Amino acid sequence: MARERRGRIVSVESEGESDAATGLRSQGYPVEAAASLDEALARAEADPGIGHFLLGRGPGLELLGSKRRQDRGLAAMLAIEGYEEALEGAATVEMPGIVARTARELFGASAAAVANYDAAGQALVLTELSVAEEEESLAVKLVGRSIRGLAAPIDEEMRRTMLELKLGASSSLSELSFGKVTPKLGSAIEAAFGIAWFRGLVLASRGILIGGLGLAGKKGSEEPDTVALRVFAAISANAFQRRAAEEKVASLLREKDALLREVHHRIKNNLNTASSLLSIQARACEEGQASDALHDAMGRLQSMSNLYDKLYRSDDLRDMSLAAYLPSLAAEIVALFPNRDSVELRTEVEDLVIDVKRLSPLGILVYELVSNAMKHAFPDGRRGGIRIVAKEKGGRLVIVIEDDGMGLPPGLDLESSKGFGLGLARMLAEQLEGKLRVERGKGTRYVLELPRARSSGERS
């Protein structure tokens, strides 16, 4: 059953339910939705049973108001402007300080302390204290040590009790500290600072204990509104919980990246080992088809090894710029052939990003076309050049590999070729959902069109 706390609450939810409204509803408070501020004010004015209103004013602002019966007006009890944004943008170690300082200012407390729950150690550890400097110095003298870092043991029964209680009006500092501060010492501190009231808020979100917030006020100061305290606690706890979830996801991603990096490194090493074995076997063979086939297999492995080496050294393990991959790959392919010194390689590659799944077959395809030119375009020591261009055109990625050599024999095309290399290139183009065509002229020109790549500014 919903709890009555100074009347019902009307929440302005023109842009959806706010964290504060969600927190209050989850704690059993009667929260009614209004579509606009005017509607909320009109209902609060007309209905004596409505005691509070909650306004959502966009990111960073929650306003909780209370209706004063003497003038039937609405007075702001809690305004948290920029609080959520400050928590969102702060480093994790800064968050307890922001919570303590904001709570002290908003509720007119003389001191505010934030404790984090250490699940492993089963204790509440005082993390942050917001109090006047001279008063903290006096407290240190009375306690005999810095009160930051004080830990109060929390057993399972007490943890469950805290989750159920959520907020308490403690009668003493000793009670607020779960007995960590002795009654005698607590009384001395209360007398020294003129403390009249204490409030303890449990910071919990979705059934998870995050910590606690303690407030203390001097004699003559107004005690804070209970609903306002609960709203503040709900917003603070949700911010802590979101940060913990974000850090857990970030940690998992770092672990995944480290694992992927290690996998890429091992694949590269294995490919290099296989390539070395093929090279040894090729040298042991007599010149002919067997030797050529082994050299081709070695080159294909080298193209994949080049990719995994760059992935291992890259900050991004999922995508890579063609400008960082194709020029070095082409240079390594040319270097595999004995006529490398007589062939000039030129590359014009735009900074286009492509995912690794497409890069591997693309690398093998480039190997087939460049190696085909190195083997057949420049016979008998003929000098020449190979040019590789990669750019975006008409919403598609276009890769051109051309040479100024002898050209293809008459009647030979991609469809009719029985050679393994060109057949493999055709199949890889289909695998990449692209189109590969050959153009004759002065030499041979291969044009590969693929679905659009991203520019470097569009990295995911």
Higher per-residue confidence, 144 vs 31: 31
**Residue 78 pLDDT class (50, 70, 90 cuts):** very low
User: Alpha-carbon torsion 177, 178, 181, 186, what sign?
Assistant: positive
> Token match 């990096």: residue?
261
The total domain count for the chain is 2
What are 89-125's pLDDT values in tens digits? 888 888 999 999 988 888 888 889 899 999 888 888 8
Whether 27 is covered by a domain: the verdict is yes
What is the model's pLDDT at position 436?
A: 92
What is the model's pLDDT at position 3?
A: 38
**Residue 74 pLDDT class (50, 70, 90 cuts):** very low
Whether 387 is covered by a domain: the verdict is yes
Looking at every residue in the chain, the average pLDDT score rounds to 76
For residue 36, pLDDT beyond 60? yes
Separation between Cα atoms, residue 231 and residue 68, nearest integer Å = 19
What domain range is 77 assigned to? 1-81
What are 282-324's pLDDT values in tens digits? 776 766 677 677 777 777 777 667 666 765 566 665 788 888 8
Is pTM beyond 0.85 here?
Answer: no
Whether 41 is covered by a domain: the verdict is yes
Domain with 16 in it: what CATH number? 3.40.50
Domain with 343 in it: what CATH number? 3.30.565.10
Whether 344 is covered by a domain: the verdict is yes
**Residue 23 pLDDT class (50, 70, 90 cuts):** low
Q: The tokens of 124 are what? A: 């509440």
Window from 30-39, 95-104, 285-294, 368-377 with minimum mean pLDDT:
285-294
Whether 107 is covered by a domain: the verdict is no
What is the model's pLDDT at position 50?
A: 75
Whether 227 is covered by a domain: the verdict is no
Average pLDDT over residues 415-423: 70
Q: Select from 50, 81, 112 the last residue of a domain.
A: 81
Whether 373 is covered by a domain: the verdict is yes
Whether 112 is covered by a domain: the verdict is no
What is the model's pLDDT at position 81?
A: 46
User: Alpha-carbon torsion 271, 274, 280, 283, what sign?
Assistant: negative
**Residue 390 pLDDT class (50, 70, 90 cuts):** very high
**Residue 1 pLDDT class (50, 70, 90 cuts):** very low
What is the model's pLDDT at position 226?
A: 75
The proportion of the chain whose per-residue pLDDT surpasses 70, expressed as a percent, equals: 73
| Under 8 Å between Cβ of 327 and 320 | no
Window from 145-149, 309-313, 340-344 with minimum mean pLDDT:
309-313
Q: Select from 21, 51, 81 the last residue of a domain.
A: 81
Higher per-residue confidence, 131 vs 263: 131
**Residue 384 pLDDT class (50, 70, 90 cuts):** very high
Angle between helices 289-313 and 226-284 (to 10 degrees): 160
Backbone φ and ψ for 253, nearest 5 degrees, come out as -65, -40
Tell which residue, 190, 125, 117, 170, has the closest CA to residue 151: 125
